[in-house]
Structure 1
Amino acid sequence: MKPPASVPTPTAPPADRKRKRVTRQPSSEEAAKQRTLQSLFTVQQKPHSIPTPTSPSSKRHRTDVPPPSTPPRALSRAAMYSFASRSPLATGSNGVVDLTNGSPPVTPQTRRTSGSLKSRTGINPHTGARKLVVKNLKQNSTWDSKAYLEKIWGQLDAALTIIFKDGNEGFSKEDLYRGVENVCRQDGARTLFDRLEGRCRQHVEQDMRQPMLEKAGLDNVSVLKAVLAEWFRWKEQMVTIRAIFFFLDRSYLLPSTKPTILELTPQLFREIVFSHESLKSTIVNGACDLVASERIRKTSVDQSLFKQAVEMFHELQVYTSSFEPRFLGTTQQYVAQWSDVMIAEKSVPEYVMISEQFIAAELARCEDYALDASTRRDLLALLEDHLVVRKDTDLTEYEPLAALLDRSALPEITALYGLLNRRRLGNKLRPAFEKWVDETGTSVVFGKEEDMVTNLLSLKRRLDLVWKSAFLRDETLGHALRETFEIFMNKTKKGEATWGTDNTKVGEMIAKYVDQLLRGGAKAIPDVLTMRRASSINAPPAGVLLPTAAQAAVEENNDDDDLDEDSEISMQLDQVLDLFRFVHGKAVFEAFYKKDLARRLLMARSASADAERSMLTRLKTECGSGFTQNLEQMFKDVELAREEMQSYKQRLEDRIGYEKGKAIDLSVNILSAAAWPTYPDIPVVIPANVKKAIDDFELHYKSKHNGPEAEVNRTLQSLACAKLRPLTKHPRSRDVHPTDTFSLNPDFTHPKYRIKINQVQLKETREENKETHIRVAEDRNFECQAAVVRILKSRKTIGHQELISETIKATMGRGVLGVADIKRNIERLIEKDYMEREEGNMYSYIA
């Protein structure tokens, strides 16, 4: 018999209850009984029973059975050991209270008897140890859940047999579903799932894998087809099975760690069929063979078969682990061999074209068959590595690129750069590009002088278009283009064309081309350079489609077809200025441009005064105000001369007796000697009437422009009485008097002073051209010496090589001499005691 939950003990009466207490000493027999009961209570009391409150104010814990407490001493022995003969509940022979018989009816007699007993004994008849037993009132069922599970499983097993044979009749899905639900509700879900899993595993092993193993000796594609057929058959079967076991799937499998039926479907097929050592590699190779067949035979792959294979790999969760590595591996082997053969058999443009087509086809396959993004990324990296990176040496050789540039094959150049730039290797074209530009430009510079500028402008336009459209404004190739242009345009060669000097011929020819434009206007522009007539030059060949960037560039160049003459001249001047920026020896350009400008201004041969001013503004912006100071003075002199002639003609009209038709149309220019070029004196016999008109104008000019006498005296004094005396004063004295006379000093010479007497010449002669070149060469020598002195003054001591380098940098803007010429100028400065040599190939400045 189980021990009672707790043993109740008599409780002390409440402190506020007034009760008469009877006190007597217990006998020895009663004391023994008391000790026996206490020991019994101690044995039967549980260790976790709730302790009795120590005071009336302490809180009492409520339980089904009152907690035991120490009997109060105030109770009498009769009250402590006297019990009612019967309790309201029936008590058996073993002292167990039976609650199943119900409580006896309470009658007034019973209530009286109970009350009298209570009053007589003074205790509660329910106090003391009692064991309560509650019996189930529900009748025991005869239901056997195990037998029911076996019955339902028998039905399910029979249905599974039919389903595995692709049958749909002979069972009721609804009844089977209800049976599964009932079994799950009777805690049979685990057993039911274990049996279902075992039955499915048995079917996959025996009915599916075994027939496929017998076909393992066939070709890869045939095995793949057989596996796909069984896979789709297995999925259809599991759809029906899941519908029957849906309650099991939702109520038991989903919240547990076991796989759901949807997860069990690929899991069993992957573990039993796909992962088998005789089938795994064959299945994956079958899918790869489909792609290989398309690449080799150039035929379309069986789209449905390959797509089904990819879907199966995804559903079996073997795409990343099994298919993708094998697919990339076979692709790498094929591409490595294919690229080696193509680069050897095909030309570079052909190789570029078929490589782009191959890459496009491979990426299209990824899109068509829903291959993973990781596959597309790795495949593209693989293709670019074999087709571009490992073939960059062959793709960037000089001969293929030179052939494309020679015929201005813009689409092919664009495709070549695009293929290389897939891996940011477009800049590797720089060496071959620089070499072609240098060789082509050098041949132009040392070619026919008449076509030099035209050919340079045409070459510059072609290369700019290649850089913008084909090279997509690549920064590295842009630097290469500018630097190479600067190199070949400043190449010099002593010869007859430059009269044995180191002057660059390009500066002279650019100045003459500008003179041609400003004299002839738009009609003087060569056909190959006019925007209206050059559109056909930049247009692609018939049947060739340019890429988007290239087509945009051509359209950009052709948008100016409707330009007027002034705008076209302005555009040509901009292009000429692009060439001018590359020229180091700008002194040659300045000398020839100044001479040609003087001729245009004095002979009124300029086609457009606005174009003249525009060119002057461009030069001032490019080279600074010091470069154009004399040129601006020339324009001012011509403008002042024009105003002076208008004033003179107005005076003639106002004279009495002036006949307009008989007057000579005289035009006189008063020029500043320092700003204009120098010309040799040419004796001319002037007719009397012309002489009279000239004298008349001279009187008119003197009458308007006579200065304060003090100004003339100061000027004469500076020329005749200073340290340098180009004039001779008679008599000699430091002051100028009205009676003094002055004459030209024929013996006056000075290395830094030059007396210029200017006259206009209609056409440039060989002698004049020679004199210009020689004068520019002399000026460059003086500039070189001045630069050396400036460097020495700032550095005090400097080495030979460093001095040469610094001198080249300082004179680059006006024109650099050769190293031998620089050395000769250094020797001259040593002879003039501006500098001296020191040990260790050093130079020092002499203050």
Structure 2
Amino acid sequence: MPPTPNREDIAATWEYLQVGITKIMINLQDGMDMGTYMGIYTAVHNFCTSQKAVGSSRRYTNAETHPTAESNKTKPSTAHLLGEDLYKKLIEYLNNHLEGLYEQSKAHTDEALLAFYIREWDRYTVAAKYIHHLFRYLNRHWVKREMDEGKKHTYDVYTLHLVQWREFFFLKVSEKVMAAVLKMVEKQRNGETIEHNQIKQVVDSFVSLGLDEHDSTKSTLDVYRYHFERPYLEATKSFYEAESKQFIAENSVVEYMKKAETRLSEEEERVTLFLHMDITGPLRKCCNTALIGDHANILRDEFQVLLDNSREADMQRMYNLLNRINDGLAPLRQKFEAHVRNAGLTAVTKVASDAEKLEPKIYVDALLEIHTQYQTLVKNAFQDEPEFTRSLDNACREFVNRNEICKVGSNKSPELLAKYTDVLLRKSGTGVEEAELDATLTQIMTVFKYIEDKDVFQKFYSRMLARRLVHSNSSSDDAETSMISKLKEACGFEYTNKLQRMFQDMQISKDLNTGFKEHTKGLNLERQPLDSSYSILGTSFWPLTPPNTTFNPPADVQADLDRFSRFYKNKHEGRKLTWLWQLCKGEVKTSYCKNSKTPYTFQVSVYQMAILLLFNEKDAQTYEDIASVTQLTSETMDAAIAILCKAKVLIMKPEGKPGPGKTFHLNYDFKSKKIRVNLNVATKSEQKQEEVETNKTIEEDRKLLLQSAIVRIMKARKNMKHNQLVSETINQIKSRFVPKVSDIKKCIEILLDKEYLERLEDDELGYLA
């Protein structure tokens, strides 16, 4: 290069600089010696710090430090002009260079154009960094001053290179470059292999050109979004709209879903490989619309077919696709809910041929089978999504509470569930393992969750629990406690309070019996006392009623209970004991059977015991004699005798039903495969009567519950509209049962008559303290 020119000669200086800049721009790969590099740097420095420039700078500095009205009007010209001239010369040079590049680009198309664009972009930006450093003094002083004064379109030298590239080259070729990019992407979508790194370099260049017009130190994505993202999304939309329309016309919906899954996955991979992350959201939306949204109805129409054929994997595929668009799943949830409800109703209908003879286990298993099947589907195919879970719950609630069995009686579901629980918790020969039992009880609670009339379950369950406890017939105390804990967790302390108190009474009774046995040992009795035990049951907690018959117990039994009564009253003065004969049972041994080497043991009710003990006196007893001695009502006595006759312990003459005029003979030829024979079995009429009584109690309790809820609400609110009171009462009671509006209105009328409430103007009710 020639020697460094005079520092004040712009023409000579630029001519000198241009040689070096051109070498950087064109032949930088050949390298640059240190002498040339320092020569250019020095020339820029010398020009910007010429004598005139320095003097002007000093005057400008003084003017800034000691401002006057005159100095504010006068701009320091020399330094300003010198820097500006150099800056303008550089702009002119870059524009000429870029015009030349544009002319060269016309000779290239498609991938060749991309290669040319990337090569020239790399060369240009590397050169820009060198030139930026060589013009550092200009940046530090003149450019900085211009920018500080708020001058627009003034940039540091590197940014200037980018601005000029954008204005004089990029805007002219961007459409052709993007067309080449889109052709490459389409090739890849059609299965061809491409050099995706080229596209990534193009994307990076587009991003680099996003310069903030108001602040050159900041960048934006505006250029990238307009020139790359916009046409890319448009091309993507067009490609997938055409492809999906053709594919779905020629293939099944399931095959289309697989295709859509693949395409969506590929587009996400492209973002990772060569696109900018900014495009992720818009691209996903674009693909979702073209591949899913436009065909959503066709997909949804296929959902019922998949449900009917249990195509879990395909349903999961459909869920994943439709979950990507707004409100895509709502119609699926509706179809799913209707399908599960119908499946549940159908399952119940299959087992409900005879509602009266229906086994509780069969009924509950039918409910559980449907719930388990579709709960698994929700978990596996629908990812346990809360809305699908809600649809499952709604469907289960429907077929559990309003099915073929419930038409017989609206309380049937909770009743059968309570009976099945009783079967599980009662001692039996099934020998169910404790872990298995607990798992089954957990399933019971699954059905219980859907029961609307939880008070019905509570009534039946408490009566059955009472029998298990009184007859010491529970399979396990731990299982009983576990079930009560589950109910408490589901419905709260109040729901299980009485159940827990029943257990406490049984424990107190055990201690009491131990004390009574010790007491009996101290008595000087003529005869061996009975091996007896007594349960003291609190009237408020046990769902039991006094016997509906008079009864004269056998002498030995009467003597034993008289001793116990005296013992108990000595401990608890003032308490009244009511004997629940219908729950009393015992065992009697036989020694009269001709064909048995080992005496039979009969397990009997206390009524049967009283009848059988009469045959110790003579082998035959008339109906009238038995009635006279036992004092039982005909209904109770007939039921007890009927079981003894059916088991052939007694022979009735003449044959028929027990009643006046009949004579009963002890059967000496009685045979049984079992040594212990259970005769204490409830008849169907007794079970039916108990169900009727339980349902009657439920209705009475509901009236009281509704009245107490109404009073509680009105006491808090004082005044309330009639309809508001009805609505609030339903909200408070629905966790126990779903009350009828007509029942609530009847209770309001009762409370008005009792003067708990009063009528006010405008259909309003008031509370009377």
Q: TM-score range by the shorter chain?
A: 0.5 to 0.7
> Counterparts of 2:162 and 2:383 in 1: how far apart (Å)?
51
Describe the superposition over 1:359-393 as per-residue Cα deviations: whole angstroms up to 9, x where unpaired: 34323322322x33422333234334545666665
Give how far 1:768 is off.
Answer: 3.3
Give how far 1:166 is off.
Answer: 5.4
Q: Helix, strand or coil: the match of 2:135?
A: helix
Q: 1:173 to 1:343 in 2, by over 3 A?
A: same
Describe the superposition over 1:66-95 as per-residue Cα deviations: whole angstroms up to 9, x where unpaired: xxxxxxxxxxxxxxxxxxxxxxxxxxxxxx
- Aligned residue number for residue 206 of structure 2: 313
Give how far 1:308 is off.
Answer: 3.0
- Aligned residue number for residue 287 of structure 1: 181
Is the Cα–Cα contact under 8 Å of residues 445 and 506 in structure 1 kept in the other structure?
no
- Aligned residue number for residue 115 of structure 2: 225
The amino acid across from 2:479 in the alignment is: A
Q: 1:467 to 1:790 in 2, by over 3 A?
A: same
Q: Are residues 1:487 and 2:373 paired?
A: no
Q: Are residues 1:504 and 2:367 paired?
A: no
Aligned match for 1:576, one of 438, 441, 444: 444
Describe the superposition over 1:507-544 as per-residue Cα deviations: whole angstroms up to 9, x where unpaired: 1221122112212589666xxxxxxxxxxxxxxxxxxx
Q: Are residues 1:249 and 2:138 paired?
A: no
**Matched ranges for 1:48-447 at <5 A:** 180=40, 184=44, 185=46, 198=92, 201-206=95-100, 208-215=101-108, 218=109, 220-232=110-122, 238=127, 249-252=135-138, 255-257=141-143, 262-263=158-159, 265-276=161-172, 279-295=173-189, 297-317=190-210, 318-338=223-243, 340=245, 354-369=259-274, 371-387=275-291, 397=300, 400=303, 403=306, 407=310, 409=312, 413=316, 416=319, 420=323, 429-447=332-350
> Counterparts of 1:791 and 1:159 in 2: how far apart (Å)?
96
When the two chains are superposed, the root-mean-square deviation of aligned CA atoms in Å is: 6.0
Q: Are residues 1:768 and 2:679 paired?
A: no
Give how far 1:285 is off.
Answer: 1.1
Is the Cα–Cα contact under 8 Å of residues 337 and 395 in structure 2 kept in the other structure?
yes
- The gaps in structure 1 that reach 5 residues or longer are 1-142, 526-564, 716-745, 747-754
Single out whichever of 420-429 and 573-582 deviates more from structure 2: 420-429
TM-score normalised by the chain length of structure 2: 0.59
In percent, how many aligned pairs have the same letter? 23
Give how far 1:273 is off.
Answer: 3.6
Q: Are residues 1:593 and 2:500 paired?
A: no
Is the Cα–Cα contact under 8 Å of residues 484 and 496 in structure 2 kept in the other structure?
yes
- Aligned residue number for residue 84 of structure 1: none
Is the Cα–Cα contact under 8 Å of residues 6 and 13 in structure 2 kept in the other structure?
no
- The gaps in structure 2 that reach 5 residues or longer are 51-81, 144-153, 211-222, 352-357, 579-630, 641-677
Give how far 1:774 is off.
Answer: 3.0
Q: 1:820 to 1:320 in 2, by over 3 A?
A: closer
Give how far 1:701 is off.
Answer: 2.2
Describe the superposition over 1:554-582 as per-residue Cα deviations: whole angstroms up to 9, x where unpaired: xxxxxxxxxxx545544543442343243
> Counterparts of 1:620 and 1:167 in 2: how far apart (Å)?
84
Is the Cα–Cα contact under 8 Å of residues 710 and 729 in structure 2 kept in the other structure?
no
Give how far 1:766 is off.
Answer: 3.2
> Counterparts of 2:466 and 2:391 in 1: how far apart (Å)?
38
Q: 1:314 to 1:414 in 2, by over 3 A?
A: closer
Q: Helix, strand or coil: the match of 1:604?
A: coil
- Aligned residue number for residue 700 of structure 1: 563
Is the Cα–Cα contact under 8 Å of residues 637 and 671 in structure 1 kept in the other structure?
yes
Give how far 1:193 is off.
Answer: 6.9
The amino acid across from 1:504 in the alignment is: N
> Counterparts of 2:21 and 2:572 in 1: how far apart (Å)?
135
Is the Cα–Cα contact under 8 Å of residues 490 and 584 in structure 1 kept in the other structure?
yes
Q: 1:339 to 1:632 in 2, by over 3 A?
A: same
Aligned length: 601
> Counterparts of 2:105 and 2:6 in 1: how far apart (Å)?
41
Q: 1:777 to 1:162 in 2, by over 3 A?
A: closer
> Counterparts of 1:643 and 1:701 in 2: how far apart (Å)?
14
Single out whichever of 404-413 and 593-602 deviates more from structure 2: 404-413
> Counterparts of 1:672 and 1:252 in 2: how far apart (Å)?
104
Describe the superposition over 1:261-313 as per-residue Cα deviations: whole angstroms up to 9, x where unpaired: 6456545544444333xx43211211122112212x13343123223322343
Q: Helix, strand or coil: the match of 1:605?
A: coil
Is the Cα–Cα contact under 8 Å of residues 467 and 477 in structure 1 kept in the other structure?
yes
The amino acid across from 2:113 in the alignment is: V
> Counterparts of 2:32 and 2:733 in 1: how far apart (Å)?
105
Q: Are residues 1:515 and 2:422 paired?
A: yes
Q: Helix, strand or coil: the match of 1:451?
A: helix
- Aligned residue number for residue 16 of structure 1: none
> Counterparts of 2:725 and 2:8 in 1: how far apart (Å)?
113
The amino acid across from 2:412 in the alignment is: K
Describe the superposition over 1:675-722 as per-residue Cα deviations: whole angstroms up to 9, x where unpaired: 465698899999xxxx5643442343244246799969999xxxxxxx
> Counterparts of 2:639 and 2:510 in 1: how far apart (Å)?
19
The structure where helix makes up a greater share of residues is 2
The amino acid across from 1:489 in the alignment is: V
> Counterparts of 1:196 and 1:713 in 2: how far apart (Å)?
116
Is the Cα–Cα contact under 8 Å of residues 293 and 325 in structure 2 kept in the other structure?
no
Q: Helix, strand or coil: the match of 2:409?
A: coil
Q: Helix, strand or coil: the match of 1:275?
A: helix
> Counterparts of 1:316 and 1:630 in 2: how far apart (Å)?
79
Q: 1:252 to 1:407 in 2, by over 3 A?
A: same
> Counterparts of 2:93 and 2:571 in 1: how far apart (Å)?
131
> Counterparts of 1:634 and 1:683 in 2: how far apart (Å)?
26
Q: 1:254 to 1:342 in 2, by over 3 A?
A: farther
> Counterparts of 1:287 and 1:709 in 2: how far apart (Å)?
99
Q: 1:622 to 1:333 in 2, by over 3 A?
A: closer
Q: Are residues 1:454 and 2:384 paired?
A: no
The amino acid across from 2:195 in the alignment is: D
The amino acid across from 1:305 in the alignment is: Q
Is the Cα–Cα contact under 8 Å of residues 570 and 611 in structure 1 kept in the other structure?
yes
Aligned match for 1:612, one of 480, 492, 495: 480
> Counterparts of 1:806 and 1:384 in 2: how far apart (Å)?
45
Is the Cα–Cα contact under 8 Å of residues 788 and 803 in structure 1 kept in the other structure?
no
> Counterparts of 1:312 and 1:168 in 2: how far apart (Å)?
21
Q: 1:177 to 1:673 in 2, by over 3 A?
A: closer
- Aligned residue number for residue 43 of structure 1: none
Give how far 1:762 is off.
Answer: 3.9
Q: 1:281 to 1:671 in 2, by over 3 A?
A: same
**Matched ranges for 1:415-814 at <5 A:** 416=319, 420=323, 429-448=332-351, 449=358, 450-461=361-372, 474-491=385-402, 502-519=409-426, 565-566=433-434, 569-616=437-484, 618-619=486-487, 631=499, 635=503, 638-639=506-507, 642-643=510-511, 646=514, 650=518, 666-669=531-534, 675=542, 677=544, 693-705=556-568, 762-782=680-700
